[in-house]
Amino acid sequence: MLCRGQTSSVTVLAPAKLNLFLKVLGKRADGYHELETLMLSVSLYDTLILSDDPSGRLSLSCRDGGSHSGPDQRRELPGAGPENLVMRAAALLRDCAGRSPGARIELVKRIPLSAGLAGGSSDAAATLAGLNRLWNLGRTRPELTQLAAQLGSDVPFFLCSRAAAICRGRGEIVEPLALAARLWFVIARPQTGLSTAEVYRHCRPSSIGWSARELARFLDRGRLRSAAGLFHNALEEPAQRLSADVTVLKRAFARQPFAGHMMSGSGTGYFGLCHSRRHAVQLAARLKATRLGDVFVASCRP
């Protein structure tokens, strides 16, 4: 996450995430699922522009950041009401501030919705970090992380100091990971999305024997094919049952020479790991030609 400015306006870039590994260990008493997941933040960004509002009000406006390549003319936008995670993050931080500063928040959306790319969670984390700076609150990263966990399972990851992490619990326990080299991806999102809660409702615990750590070791040594052999997402199978689009996209990716490919999070977003930027640009062009949805090239910087 990149945060700029500090007097009357702060701009924050909120990245999307990919799950290269998502093992469901079981269902918990609180209804959530216990996870072990390897997440990367990638260079597909929403932008948040946060400005002081002397009236003391909190307000949000959303607009389409363009740059989408799919058959849809217009991107779906989230609601801008109090239910939006950005507004919930702003209200939560303000409650802890001991005073009532206001902010106008402009959210420029590029990360597709309902795609397993955690756009909403990333926007919430960016709001916490950005308003902490705008309002000069001096909250520490652990303090912000604690608030983040109240907003959603994926939110704390985006406050982590590194671009990669192994996350546990319901996703909120974040262990930062060092990566040796930049990784390149093609990301696609079909025309329909899926509800995270719905996908989790249909999932079963993973039965695989390996861990995220083994996958991380291959990634760190630049052994992309070996790493891709350990890709796992327990949510892909239920997502395929709920959305034929995921299966269609999977087949389209399988026809291209990716180092590996898989669905991200609860879908319907899907990604392919590439050997270089050039490789990613080439395969993205082929996928765009299928007109199955929006297609992006993005990277993860160590």
* Distance from C-alpha of 81 to C-alpha of 72, rounded to nearest angstrom: 24
Q: Does 23 bind ligand C5P (CB under 6 A)?
A: no
Which range binds ligand C5P by CB under 6 A, 2-10, 195-203, 231-239, 277-285? 195-203
Give the bridge partners for 19, in sequence order: 39
Q: Does 233 bind ligand C5P (CB under 6 A)?
A: no
Residue with tokens 């400005």: 51
Q: Does 35 bind ligand C5P (CB under 6 A)?
A: yes
Q: Does 33 bind ligand C5P (CB under 6 A)?
A: yes
Q: Does 37 bind ligand C5P (CB under 6 A)?
A: no
**Minimum distance from CB of 263 to ligand C5P (Å)?**
15
Secondary structure in 3-state letters for 81-97: CCCCHHHHHHHHHHHHH
Among 3, 5, 13, 32, binds ligand C5P (CB under 6 A): 32
Quick check: 268 and 58 in contact, CB under 8 A?
no
Cβ-based neighbour number of residue 126 at 10 Å: 31
Q: Cis link prior to 268 (omega < 30° from 0)? A: yes
Asked if 17 is an active-site residue, the reply is yes
Q: Taking the chain, what is the end-to-end CA distance rounded to the nearest angstrom?
A: 13
What separation in angstroms does the CA of 162 have from each of 25, 114, 185, 289? 25, 24, 18, 34
CA dihedral (270, 183, 22, 126) positive or negative: negative
Which range binds ligand C5P by CB under 6 A, 59-67, 194-202, 212-220, 271-279? 194-202
Quick check: 1 and 17 in contact, CB under 8 A?
no
Binding mask 143-172 for ligand C5P (x = CB under 6 A): ---------xxx---------------xx-
Judge residue 97's burial from the number of C-beta atoms within 10 Å of its C-beta, 0-12 exposed, 13-18 middle, 19 or more buried.
middle
Quick check: 257 and 287 in contact, CB under 8 A?
no
Q: Does 196 bind ligand C5P (CB under 6 A)?
A: yes
Q: Does 29 bind ligand C5P (CB under 6 A)?
A: no
Among 98, 142, 197, 209, binds ligand C5P (CB under 6 A): 197
Q: Of residues 17, 23, 109, 288, which has the active-site annotation?
A: 17
Among 104, 200, 220, 282, binds ligand C5P (CB under 6 A): 200
Asked if 245 is an active-site residue, the reply is no
**Minimum distance from CB of 237 to ligand C5P (Å)?**
15
**Minimum distance from CB of 116 to ligand C5P (Å)?**
11
Q: Does 127 bind ligand C5P (CB under 6 A)?
A: no
**Minimum distance from CB of 154 to ligand C5P (Å)?**
6
Instruction: Give how many residues touch ligand C5P by CB under 6 A.
Output: 11
Cβ-based neighbour number of residue 257 at 10 Å: 11
Query: Which residues, 6+ apart, have CB-to-CB distance to 141 below 8 Å?
Result: 159, 161
Catalytic residues: 17, 154
Positions in the binding site for ligand C5P (CB under 6 A)? 32-33, 35, 152-154, 170-171, 196-197, 200
